[in-house]
Amino acid sequence: MKIICIARNYSEHAKELNNEIPENPVFFLKPDTAILPKDKNFYLPEFSNNIHYEAEIVLKISKAGKYIQPEFAMNYFNQITLGIDFTARDLQSTLKEKGHPWEIAKAFDHSAVVGNFLEKNKFDLNNLTFRLDKNQKTAQKGNSNQMIHDFSKIISDASRFFTLKTGDLIFTGTPAGVGQVLEDDELEGWIENEKVFEISVK
């Protein structure tokens, strides 16, 4: 199982980090060891002083595919959830300045929160609202209609480079509003009015 992530897929988020808005999806990967086990706390790693949350809609691939055409892409997943792409922002900034790859800022152990999966046919995927609450206050919110590249485009483009397999996860990008997490923060993820995860930061 692999985790495929999309960077800079919401224009306002790209702007808040002073990044260019990409013409095509920007991909990076997380290993399966990045997944935070269910019902476990997230522990701030010792190698960073600035861990950011990035809430994202996550797609769970339901069948194998390669070179998937956009018009068929929506047939390759049945379930969605909300996740968090935890990012060591200080490491990432330093590595980007040097022109180095920044996997260690994105792919470290337990850097991927994956909520409980919901059936996609319950929702309008073109108008899907989601939010992240921090300490019972909304910290980040978005809607799938704000994405630069929609789900079909993401799946189709990803399958050009990576054979998609059953169980693979695709993190589809984060909207504006990312921010730092601190010890004792409580995070809750919502799709529409359904809570899909709740974690504590330690």
Q: Are 19 and 8 a contacting pair, CB within 8 Å? A: yes
The domain tally of the chain equals 1
Half-sphere exposure of 110 (CA within 13 A, CB side): 15
CATH number, domain of 138, equals 3.90.850.10
Distance (Å, rounded) from C-alpha 169 to C-alpha 132?
19
Q: What is the pTM of this model?
A: 0.95
pLDDT value for 18 = 62
Q: Which domain range does residue 195 map to?
A: 3-200
Which residues of the chain carry a pLDDT beneath 50? 14
pLDDT at 87: 98
Task: State the DSSP code for 3.
Answer: E
